[in-house]
């Protein structure tokens, strides 16, 4: 009898020890209802915090909107423009955050520079 036509039964493999699994603490916290939002655990690897990625994505959606408009699909073009607008707002927000952090560091740099100058003047006066 030919065994090639016989159906194979599923045989589970033995578990490997180095296979990553969720820890039991994560399962217990979700069971308690502490993390019901599915988006909270979604990891983007910082793509929305990197200003260059946001700008690139915004430009991509603007180009897709132009392409959809030239193909005669105004609804799809409007959809892409809404996506581009979202990324434009995110881009502006990241720019403002970057500028405000730069403004905060500038006074600190000035104060340390003034302290260094005053220290140098003190040493000149004492000598």
Mean per-residue pLDDT, 90-108: 88
**CB contact burial 56-92 (16+ within 10 A = b; e otherwise):** ebbeebbebbeebeeeeeeeebeebbebbeebbebbe
Dump pLDDT digits (tens) for 27-74.
Answer: 554 555 555 555 544 445 556 789 999 999 999 999 999 999 999 999
Structure tokens at 32: 């308690």
């Amino acid at each position: 009898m030919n065994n090639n036509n016989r159906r194979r039964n599923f045989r589970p493999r033995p578990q490997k020890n180095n296979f990553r699994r969720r820890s039991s603490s994560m399962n217990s916290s979700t069971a308690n209802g502490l993390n019901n939002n599915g988006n909270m655990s979604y990891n983007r690897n910082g793509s929305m915090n990197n200003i260059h990625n946001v700008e690139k994505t915004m430009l991509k959606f603007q180009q897709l909107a132009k392409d959809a408009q030239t193909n005669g699909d105004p609804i799809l073009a409007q959809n892409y423009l809404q996506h581009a607008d979202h990324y434009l707002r995110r881009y502006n927000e990241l720019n403002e955050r970057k500028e405000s952090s730069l403004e905060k560091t500038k006074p600190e740099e000035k104060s340390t520079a003034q302290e260094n100058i005053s220290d140098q003047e003190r040493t000149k006066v004492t000598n």
